Amino acid sequence: MKTVFPIHKFRELPTPFYYYDTKVLRDTLACVNREVARYDNFSVHYAVKANANPKVLTIIRESGLGADCVSGGEIRAAIKAGFPAGKIVFAGVGKADWEIDLGLDYDIFCFNVESVPELEVINELAAAKGKVANVAFRINPNVGAHTHANITTGLAENKFGISMHDMDKVIDVALELKYVKFIGLHFHIGSQILDMGDFIALCNRVNELQDKLEARHILVEHINVGGGLGIDYDHPNRQPIPDFADYFRTYDEHLKLRPHQTLHFELGRAITGQCGSLISKVLYVKQGTNKQFAILDAGMTDLIRPALYQAHHKMENLTSEDPVVETYDVVGPICESSDVFGKAVDLNKVKRGDLIALRSAGAYGEIMASGYNCRELPKGYISEELV
């Protein structure tokens, strides 16, 4: 399966913009549902933070997935897209009171709680509404992930979650509170993880915690292991859909679920990453002292991942008919030295006006765009709009 680019339509649109191939997205969702159906007690929530484009959200909701939200704005976006409140989980280390109230008003499935003070605030706000909030505790398992340091979230030094050493104390507090109900454990060790060994390490830690809880005669209804499954940024056409079979099988084989428990996942990048591309136009080709620069009209304001994470995105010249391949530093127009998409990139010979696709940009792309330098935010189009 290969993303199809309607180049004749692209030429009619102001650049830069995001393009989402909905066949890739729907095929990815079908694969997720097919693999999850092999297990009686697995449930998937889409991580809205990866891509909250309303048209993309609607397609994901139509597939039957739940939603994983980390802000009140994401809860509203999920509700507007039609996600049932009963399939929404609300995570995040810093939930404001109004955001908690919003979750309570919608009767969302669960709050993933990250501290005792947060737990006490949820109890207080729920009491004011005469409601009981379902809560799961996000535990920091001190498990490292083989990924970029900025997207590792499961180490003791990270801001996320409750220390394993404090788990008993937090549970004791919860059991004393009248307006929260402790129903689960939540984990998330990082993002863009390709080594199944990291997930096996998480399973082993969860098994240890479950044994400790059972020793106290405490049973939880569900385990939420977060997400983190990565995608192939180097070869988006070769592997447009991640190996979900291996991913879910890893948890089935290594996590010791109890018969009554459900296992929840929060997948974002793995669902939307490969369906999206940032489409940009070449403004200038500039000859430097010892290199060529291809200067695009897209910059770090449109796709910040290369500047923020040193992330790599495969680039393609969509409109060049020149078979000659040349090497360029591909850069944007922003007044920052870090506004670089890639160095020493081989592309079919570039000229002014060529359209360049930055692939695998369907996650943490459009959603992270900014107005720095007073630039307009890029628009997003799905393939059905451009036929």
Cα(248)–Cα(265) distance, rounded to whole angstroms?
A: 9
pLDDT at 358 > cutoff 50: yes
Write the DSSP symbol of residue 196.
H
Q: Is 184 annotated as a binding residue?
A: no
Percent residues over pLDDT 90 in the chain: 89
Q: Is 266 annotated as a binding residue?
A: yes
- Range of weakest confidence among 113-127, 149-163, 250-264, 317-331: 149-163
pLDDT at 160: 67
Task: Output 96 or 156, whichever has higher pLDDT.
Answer: 96
Catalytic residues: 335
Q: Is 326 annotated as a binding residue?
A: no
pLDDT class of 146 with cuts at 50, 70, 90: very low
Across residues 320-336, what is the average pLDDT?
96
E strands present in the chain? 17-20, 42-47, 66-69, 88-90, 110-113, 133-140, 162-163, 180-186, 222-224, 262-267, 276-287, 292-296, 315-317, 325-331, 340-348, 355-358, 379-382
Percent residues over pLDDT 70 in the chain: 95
pLDDT at 150 > cutoff 50: no
pLDDT at 168: 87
pLDDT at 154 > cutoff 70: no
Could you give the domains of the chain?
22-273 (3.20.20.10), 274-386 (2.40.37.10)
Q: Is 375 annotated as a binding residue?
A: no
Q: Is 72 annotated as a binding residue?
A: no
Q: Is 228 annotated as a binding residue?
A: yes
pLDDT at 116: 93
pLDDT at 2: 79
pLDDT at 159: 61
For the segment 241-252, what is each residue's pLDDT rounded down to a tens digit? 999 999 999 999
pLDDT at 179: 98
For the segment 10-52, what is each residue's pLDDT rounded down to a tens digit? 999 999 999 999 999 999 999 999 999 999 999 999 999 999 9
CA distances from 48 to 55, 199, 298, 346 (A): 12, 22, 24, 34
Contact between 57 and 78 under an 8 Å Cβ cutoff? The reply is yes
Across residues 170-193, what is the average pLDDT?
94
Cα(150)–Cα(341) distance, rounded to whole angstroms?
A: 18
Contact between 387 and 4 under an 8 Å Cβ cutoff? The reply is no
Across residues 64-71, what is the average pLDDT?
98
Q: What is the mean pLDDT of the chain?
A: 94
Contact between 47 and 83 under an 8 Å Cβ cutoff? The reply is no
Q: Is 332 annotated as a binding residue?
A: no
Kindly give, in sequence order, each residue whose CB lies less than 8 Å from that of residue 155, ignoring residues fewer than 6 positions away: 140, 142, 143, 144
